[in-house]
């Protein structure tokens, strides 16, 4: 009753001439009004709508490409998921997983080419399962002891992450408690928040962890070639520059010419930097010691999608037997395969960057293409440097097994 009065007064503030005859209807409209104005006083039942809204907001931002960059999207996704979980009502694990998956699916559908969204959801799900298992089963041994070669790959989680034991909830959690359906959620939520915080911390320290070993990869007087602009590669090179004196050749990477930005940033840091057009990569490759690339998505087979131009640089490096090293956060590792559309970039940029309207007479007659990504085969890559250690492309599948649960591969 108090609530109703509150709405009533709110209603009159919002639209004073409303009549009593349409009371019910207008209360409903006020409900919407209250949620849109993000009113903190809204009570429990409306929270589902609010979280829903934050998912929608992120989805539309993704759709409009207002958020770009894998790490930014991963962070945003994580924050939304945290909101979703904190507001969610569930009495068993399946319900919770269904809620998260539903939110995840919406976000993935909004921008299917930004794989870090799905990866973050998968990772959160994985963490949640771990926490729940730890909390409900206590310290009962989870692993069967029988090993066989056929099971080795399936169960192979040789470097399982250490699960922090949350002692306060151990053993007290029960799913589907008929007396108190919220008890499961109440008991689990603090643990879940901590789990999400872990993922968040990992994302926030991703650059530091990747560039931690930079000095082992770059030696004095080396010449390193890179292209495009990648925050990860930038941090990696800068971190190596603290201890090593080396040179970087940055390819401009048409048509965005992002390489210029990269070159500026590196040279202002004091690294000797050369900016070259894409066309001269092959000519200079014979003097390059190492090619360091950024990735957009790392696929399960060890291949990757990266900014267009990467495939040519990697192939030229292979022709000169120059090692190609990829720096990427672990959140870019995706349980996807690219077997059938090997050459399709599947994402296209603005053609006016390639052939602008200043060539007006040409524009009508000519097809102009500006693919965004290249698929780089695993054979061309020597190693992935991630925040979870260095991996050859052939062991990316193992990293996947460790990071995500198999049932989440298809959200």
Residues at the interface with other proteins (CB under 8 A) = 223, 247, 249, 252-255, 257, 260, 263-264, 267-268, 272-284, 286-287, 307-309, 311-312, 315-316, 319, 343-345, 354-355, 359, 362, 365-371, 374
Rounded Cα distance between 57 and 107, Å, is 10
Cα dihedral sign for 239, 242, 248, 253?
positive
Rounded Cα distance between 396 and 402, Å, is 10
Residue with tokens 């492309």: 393
H or E element in which residue 251 lies: strand 247-251
Please report how close the Cβ of residue 393 comes to other proteins at its closest, in angstroms: 18
Please report how close the Cβ of residue 311 comes to other proteins at its closest, in angstroms: 5
Nearer to other proteins among residue 125 and residue 317 (C-beta) = 317
Nearer to other proteins among residue 98 and residue 362 (C-beta) = 362
Please report how close the Cβ of residue 198 comes to other proteins at its closest, in angstroms: 38
Nearer to other proteins among residue 163 and residue 369 (C-beta) = 369
Quick one: CA torsion of 261, 314, 70, 189, rounded to 10 degrees?
-140
**Backbone phi, then psi, for 345, in 5-degree steps?**
-80, -30
Residue with tokens 């709405």: 7
CB-CB contact of 106 with 55 (8 Å): yes
Please report how close the Cβ of residue 292 comes to other proteins at its closest, in angstroms: 17
Nearer to other proteins among residue 83 and residue 377 (C-beta) = 377
Rounded Cα distance between 131 and 116, Å, is 22
- DSSP β-ladder status, 373-376 and 297-298: unpaired
Nearer to other proteins among residue 142 and residue 369 (C-beta) = 369
For residue 215, give both structure tokens. Answer: 């000095």
Please report how close the Cβ of residue 363 comes to other proteins at its closest, in angstroms: 10
Q: How far is the CA of 9 from the CAs of 1, 6, 27, in angstroms?
A: 12, 5, 10
Nearer to other proteins among residue 132 and residue 316 (C-beta) = 316
Please report how close the Cβ of residue 247 comes to other proteins at its closest, in angstroms: 6
């Amino acid at each position: 009753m108090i609530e109703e009065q509150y709405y009533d007064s709110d209603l009159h503030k919002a639209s004073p001439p409303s009549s009593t005859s349409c009371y019910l209807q207008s209360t409903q409209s006020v409900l919407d009004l209250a949620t849109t104005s993000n009113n903190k006083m809204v009570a429990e039942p409306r929270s589902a709508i609010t979280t829903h809204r934050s998912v929608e907001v992120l989805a539309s931002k993704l759709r409009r490409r207002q958020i770009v960059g894998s790490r930014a999207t991963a962070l945003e996704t994580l924050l939304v998921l945290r909101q979703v979980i904190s507001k969610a009502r569930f009495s068993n694990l399946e319900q919770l997983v269904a809620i998260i998956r539903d939110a995840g699916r919406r976000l993935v559908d909004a921008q299917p080419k930004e794989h870090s969204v799905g990866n973050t959801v998968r990772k959160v799900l994985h963490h949640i399962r771990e926490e729940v298992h730890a909390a409900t089963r206590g310290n009962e041994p989870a692993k069967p002891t029988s090993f066989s070669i056929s099971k080795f790959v399936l169960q192979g989680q040789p470097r399982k992450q250490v699960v922090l034991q949350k002692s306060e909830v151990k053993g007290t959690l029960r799913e589907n408690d008929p007396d108190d359906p919220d008890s499961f959620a109440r008991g689990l939520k603090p643990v879940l928040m901590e789990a999400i915080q872990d993922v968040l911390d990992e994302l926030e320290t991703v650059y530091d962890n990747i560039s931690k070993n930079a000095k082992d990869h770059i030696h004095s007087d080396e010449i390193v070639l890179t292209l495009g602009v990648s925050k990860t590669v930038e941090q990696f090179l800068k971190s190596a520059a603290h201890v090593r004196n080396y040179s970087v050749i940055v390819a401009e990477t048409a048509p965005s010419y992002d390489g210029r930005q990269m070159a500026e940033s590196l040279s202002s840091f004091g690294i000797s930097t050369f900016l070259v057009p894409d066309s001269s990569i092959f000519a200079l490759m014979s003097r390059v010691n190492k090619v360091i690339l950024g990735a957009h998505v790392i696929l399960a087979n060890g291949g990757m999608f990266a900014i267009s131009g990467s495939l040519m640089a990697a192939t030229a490096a292979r022709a000169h037997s120059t090692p190609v090293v990829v720096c990427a956060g672990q959140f870019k590792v995706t349980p996807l395969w690219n077997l059938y559309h090997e050459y399709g970039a599947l994402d296209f940029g603005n053609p006016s960057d390639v052939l602008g309207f200043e060539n007006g007479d040409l524009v009508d007659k000519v097809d102009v293409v500006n693919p965004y990504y290249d698929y780089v085969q695993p054979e061309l890559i020597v190693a992935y440097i991630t925040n979870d250690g260095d991996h050859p492309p052939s062991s990316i599948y193992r990293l996947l097994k460790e990071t995500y649960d198999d049932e989440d591969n298809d959200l």
